[in-house]
Amino acid sequence: MSIFRFKQFTVDDSRCGMKIGTDGVLLGSWAHADGAGCIIDAGTGSGLIALMMAQRYPKTHVTGIDIDEPATLDAMHNVSLSPWSGRIDIINTDLLNWSPGNHIPEIEHPICIVSNPPFFTEALHSPDAARSLARHGTGFGVETLIQWAAEIMTRPGDTLSFISPMDRDDDVQYHLSLSRLAATRIADVSPRQDKNPIRRLYEVTRECDVHSPCHTEHICIRNLDGSYTSQYSSLTSQFYLDK
């Protein structure tokens, strides 16, 4: 059994294909949902990001959606044990067949979509079917997420926040442009002080709603001695037990 204890909740990801990692904690700590009528965790897995956003935004309803039934069973269990069980819905369905219009209770705009989508593209897939689906995103990946989110983001203030490898940035920017979305915040993430960024965090909205330059920043996770940087510790201080 894989159990991770955070300051205000616990996550069991034993049935989930994609296990808890730094990417999810980073995104759940960094994504903004100020003023959002609802938060949607697209591809919720064990429910980690849904729980993090529920903790950070105590007045906002959160919906986690995942196609993998064992993963949603983990998420439902984790939510049921959390302080926010009445404010988080977990739905087991294909995200591509879901829209705010068929959600009960009705989704309120502005919506904040948060997603740690599958992005691995190795030719050799994992022999474990659930992990392979989560990692390789058969039918759902960064490009599909952008296209789906663009259809859902119909009102001013709607946003999408996600994480992707740095070497996919050209593809990401291309698909954002095709979908008439534009970045308002970007953070490049380095694993250590002497390493180049390997991840990029994006917050995007509709092009027609962008009225100021994109805010950019750099996040470094570890110092040269392997300890967490003060920047990363501050970012994740609401969640890690030792912060």
Residue 188 pairs in a beta bridge with 200, 218
Residue 22 pairs in a beta bridge with none
> Domain residues of the chain, as ranges?
3-235
CATH class held by domain 3-235: alpha beta
Cα–Cα separations (whole angstroms), residue 233 to 32, 48, 71, 240: 18, 18, 28, 9
In the chain, which ranges are continuous DSSP H helix?
A: 22-30, 48-56, 69-80, 129-136, 142-152, 169-178, 230-235
User: Does residue 88 sit in helix, strand or coil?
Assistant: strand
Q: What's the pLDDT at 1?
A: 56
- Token pair, residue 140, equals 């759902």
Q: What's the pLDDT at 194?
A: 95
- To the nearest 10°, the Cα dihedral for 83, 10, 199, 223? 110
Query: What DSSP string describes 89-104?
Result: EEEES-GGG--GGG-S
End-to-end Cα distance, the chain: 24
Find the angle CA(214)-CA(215)-CA(217) to the nearest 5 degrees. Answer: 135
Q: What's the pLDDT at 121?
A: 38
Rounded to the nearest angstrom, the gap between the alpha carbon of residue 126 and the centroid of all alpha carbons in its chain is 22
| pLDDT tens digit sequence for 145-200 | 999 999 999 999 999 999 999 999 999 999 999 999 999 999 999 999 999 999 99
pTM here is 0.90
Mean pLDDT by 10 residues, the chain (243 residues): 88 86 95 96 96 97 94 96 96 90 81 84 40 45 92 96 95 96 98 96 97 96 95 94 65
Residue 185 contacts residue 214 (beta carbons within 8 Å): yes
Residue 3 pairs in a beta bridge with 12
CA distance 229 to 192: 9
Question: Nearest-CA neighbor of 110 among 74, 161, 146, 69?
Answer: 161
